[in-house]
Structure 1
C-alpha cells in the first residue's frame, strides 16, 4: 500500500516541488494551503492525478485529515521579507499555532513530521559559516523577528514533542533556495534581480553589496529534504549550498546572464538584514550523504529561462484560472 503524506504550504515555491518529488516516488500526496502567498498554478499539473488531492485550508485554525498518514511536511509559512513584513501576525501564528496543530496531528496519526525551519534562526550571525550548534544572533523585537522567532519557537516546540511524546520529528534549516516557480515580486534576491533585468531597470543592491548569500538550486534542496525525512536523525540539519558570493558580485552575474546593460544602484540596508549567510553542511554530508550537485551557473540559467518565458499574458491567465472543482475545503 502506498505511503500517504501531507504537505502544507503545497502551492508555494518549494513545497510544490516537494509534491512533485513524492508523487514521483509513488506516495499519495495531500496538499494543503490557505493561498495567502501560494499559487495554485504551481500544482495544477497534479490535479488530474488519482494520488493527489488538495485542501484549501488555514492550519492556524485546526487541522484534520481523514484516514492514515505516514508523513507530514510542514512548509506553510510566508518566506520572503515582503510577505512576512506585510502579514506579521499570520506569520507568527503559522509558526506557532500551525505547528502546534500539525504536531498534534502527527501524534494522533503516529506519523513522522518534518518541520521547515530556516537559516534565519541564526539571525545576523557572529559565527561563519553557520553550523547547527550555533544559537544565533536574533532581534526578537525587530521587524524580521516575526519570521525569525516564529521559526525558533517552531523548532523548540518540535523538539518538545519529540522529547516528551516520543514523536518522530525532523528539522530542516533551509538556506536560500531558488528555481522555477519563485514569484517575481516576492522580494528575495534572485527574483528581484531577474525581475528588474527583465523590465530594463537598474539592479537595486542594499547596503554596500558586500553582504553574502549562498544559493541552493531547488532540486538539490528537495533531495536533501527527502533524505532527511527518511533518515533516523532528529536534530536540526542545515540544507543549503555552501558556495558563498557577495550580493554585489551576484548582481554582476545577473547582468552578464541576462545580457543587459543595467547599472547597479545602492540603497540603505534594511534593519537587521544579515551580513553573512553560508551553511556549514558537514552534518548533512555525514548523516544524509548529501551535498548540492547543481552549480549556480547551471541553476541560474534554468531559473532565468523560466522567468523569461513567463509572459505577462500567462501570469494574468494563471491568476484568474478557476481551480474550484479540484479543491476540498
Structure 2
C-alpha cells in the first residue's frame, strides 16, 4: 500500500516560511513537501524561484517578465535568498523527520515559455536555448536535491514534482510570442518526452485542460498530478492506460481557494467514482492514488490552506480503510 495518502501541490499563502513548513509536516505527514510562498513577490514566483536553481544561466525581471541576463543580479539574488530561507525553515521544522519528501520546481517547458532570451523572443523559440536550459535545470535540480538531503538526513526518498501548467500550450503551439502578436511553433512530443527522461522519475503537475496523458505515460515519469474537476470522460481511457502502466495519480479533490469544504466522503468521491468507471480492483486505489488540493494554495487564506490539506488526508483515510464503504458515503453525502 502506498503510504503517502495525501500531499499538497506546493504553494501556500502568506510570507512565514517556517509556519508554512510546520503546517505541512503536521497536516500531510505521509508526504510533506517544501512549501512555496509566491506572495513574497519577485523571486518567489514559479519561474523566478526555479530560475534561481539554474546553473550558469541567470535571469532578471524586465517590464515584460523574466529575461536572461549576463550575470547574477538583484532579482537572482532575491530569488536565491527566498529559497535559502525556505530551506532553513524546512530544516528547522523537519529536523527529526524520517520519510519521503516532495520538492517542486517549474518544469523545463513552462520555464522555457516564461523566460525571454536576452535580445529576442522567449527561450521556447530557440531549440539550442531550450537544450541549454534543460541541461542547466537538470544539474540545478540535482544540486538542490543534494542540499535538501544534507539538511534533512532522515529523508528516505526525494519525490520530484515538475510543475508544467504551460505544457499543453507548448504542445499545441498556442504559446504567444514575446510581442503577443504571434504564436510559437508547437514542440514535438518526442522532444518533451526526451527532456522528462533526464529527471529522476518525476511527478508532472499540470492544472490545465488537455493534459497529455499518453505522452507522459511514455516519458519515464512516475506519476501525473491533475485537477479532478478538469478530468473529462474523453480523458479516462488515457488515464486508465497510464494507471495500467503503473503511474501514480495525484488527484486534486478540493479547491485551491476558500470555500466550504464538504464531508470527507464527498471529498473522496472523485477518486472513488473514477476508479469504479475505470474498472480497476478496489485495493489498487490506495496503491496508485494520492489526494491533493486541485492546485496550489497561494490564493487561499491560511486557515483554509490548513483545512484543505487536512481534508485531503482524512479523505485518503476513507479510501484506505474501506474503498467500498467510502463510495457509499460519498454517494450518500452527494444525495
TM-score (norm 2): 0.33
